[in-house]
Amino acid sequence: MYSFNFILLASSIFGSCIGSFLNVCILRIPRDISIAFPPSSCTNCKEPIKWYDNIPVLSYIFLLGRCRNCKTKISIQYPLVELFTGLTAFYTVFSFSLTLKAFFVFIFACVLIVISIIDLHHQIIPDIISLPGIPFFFILALILNEIELTDLVLGILLGGGILYLIAFLYYFLAKKEGMGGGDIKLLAMIGGFIGYKGVFFTIFVSSVLGTVIGIFLILLKGRDMKYAVPFGPFLSLGALIYIYFGDLIIFHYINFIRG
């Protein structure tokens, strides 16, 4: 018990450190800047960040959310991403123990975190992440050997195909683009890792979440709201809910229907 608790603690610390790297990816990938060089620096004064000012979450607290050199405010996104990634690592190991599946799921979750924050900021899902992600996560799923090959192939085809059909129909009826190509590639990547059943679950859950949040924003901002809510974060959240809680949700849903 104590050893597993130590593993969970170590996992959360490790995850927070990875979250710091994810922040670099989120900042640099949309700007087509190397994620390796140059070293991290303040976005305002360009002063390189010292190692002791780059400790996940804690440095933000100690610095009171400001750059040590120029006192410019540091975005709250940085500690939040680090904290969320740490919690994700914690719950992944808690759910799947210290296994190969936990490692692969954590990688998948990290990619979805990067995609979601980039989509929120820029309304794009970079092809440099999603396109290589399709074969990459398909191979990881094959290594795990928990989902049939045909289910994974169908996941890619249906994941990309369903959203492509929706986007095509929307454009045909409204004469304007509704869903971007990035969402299509993202769902294909998701399908390649969790299969076609996971795709249907992800579409349903993300649609419900997107509708609820959309209604909330309309009530908050008014009907003249011009901000388009990106769908990528909802697809990502739906996929993660399926991985961590899908079996339990489906079990209770079936019992409710039979009820």
Smallest CA-to-CA distance from 112 within 143, 133, 140, 135 is with 133
Residue 170: what are its φ and ψ, rounded to 5°?
-65, -45
Residue 164, Cβ density class (10 Å: 0-12 exposed, 13-18 middle, ≥19 buried): middle
The C-alpha atoms of residue 230 and residue 89 are separated, in whole angstroms, by 25
For position 173, what pLDDT does the model report? 67
Upper half-sphere CA count for residue 222 (Cβ side, 13 Å)? 2
DSSP single-letter state for residue 66: B
| pLDDT digit string (tens) for the chain, length 259 residues | 568 889 999 999 999 999 999 999 999 999 999 998 888 888 889 899 998 899 999 999 999 999 999 999 999 999 999 999 999 999 999 999 999 999 999 999 999 999 999 999 999 999 999 999 999 999 999 999 999 999 999 999 999 888 778 766 766 666 666 566 889 999 999 999 999 999 999 999 999 998 898 888 777 766 555 556 789 999 999 999 999 999 999 888 888 888 6
The residue ranges of every structural domain in the chain are 1-98, 124-259
- Helices 77-96 and 100-122: crossing angle in degrees, nearest 10, is 150
Contact status, residue 183 vs residue 125, Cβ threshold 8 Å: yes
Helix axes 100-122, 181-221, angle to 10 degrees: 60
Angle between helices 181-221 and 232-258 (to 10 degrees): 80
**Rounded Cα–Cα distance for residues 150 and 255 (Å):** 28
pLDDT in tens, 5-28: 899 999 999 999 999 999 999 999
pLDDT of residue 229: 78
Q: Do 137 and 192 meet the contact criterion of CB atoms below 8 Å apart?
A: yes
Residues 45, 69 contacting (CB under 8 angstroms): yes
